[in-house]
Structure 1
Amino acid sequence: MSIKLPSRSSLLSIPPKRLPVNRARLMPLAYAGGLLAIGAVLLIAKPRVGNVPQPNQMGTLPRRSRWRRAAQKGRDGVQAFAPVNVTDSMGRSLILGGAALLLARVLDEVSGRDGQ
Structure 2
Amino acid sequence: MSKLPGRTNLPEIARTTLPATRRARFAPFVYAGGLLAIGTALLVSKPRIGKVPEPRQMGNAPRRSRLRRAAQHGRDGAQAFAPSNVTDSVGRSLILGGVALLAARALDELSGRDGK
Give, in whole Å, the separation in 2 of the partners of 1:50 and 1:69.
28
How does 1:45-60 map onto structure 2 within 5 Å? 45-60=45-60
Deviation at 1:66, TM superposition (A): 2.8
Higher alpha-carbon deviation: 70-79 or 52-61: 52-61
Query: Quick one: which amino acid aligns to residue 104 of structure 1?
Result: A
Alpha-carbon offset, residue 104 of structure 1 = 0.7
Note the residue ranges of structure 2 that are not aligned, 5 or more in a row.
1-20
- 1:68 matched residue in structure 2: 68
Q: How far off its partner does 1:83 sit?
A: 2.3
Do structure 1's residue 86 and structure 2's residue 86 form an aligned pair? Answer: yes
Return the offset for 1:82: 2.0
Distance 1:66 1:23 in 2: 62
What is the root-mean-square deviation in Å for CA atoms of aligned residues? 1.6
Structure 2 partner of 1:98:
98
The residue identity in structure 1 corresponding to 2:112 is G
Structure possessing the higher radius of gyration over alpha carbons:
1
- Residue 96 of structure 1: how far off its partner (Å): 0.9
State the alpha-carbon separation in 2 of the partners of residues 71 and 49 from structure 1: 25
Cα shift readout 1:28-60 (whole Å, capped 9, x = no counterpart) = 111111111110110011011221212222111
User: Which ranges in structure 1 are unaligned for 5 or more consecutive residues?
Assistant: 1-20
Taking the aligned partners of 1:71 and 1:52, their CA distance within structure 2 comes to 18
Please give the secondary structure, in 1, of the residue aligned with 2:81.
coil
SS at match of 1:80: helix
Scaled by the length of structure 2, the TM-score of the pair is 0.74
| Runs of 4 or more above 4 Å deviation | none
How many positions carry a matched residue from both structures?
A: 96
**Is residue 15 of structure 2 the alignment partner of residue 39 of structure 1?**
no
- Distance (Å, rounded) in 1 between the aligned partners of 2:23 and 2:45: 32
Q: Distance in 1 between matches of 2:84 and 2:47?
A: 12
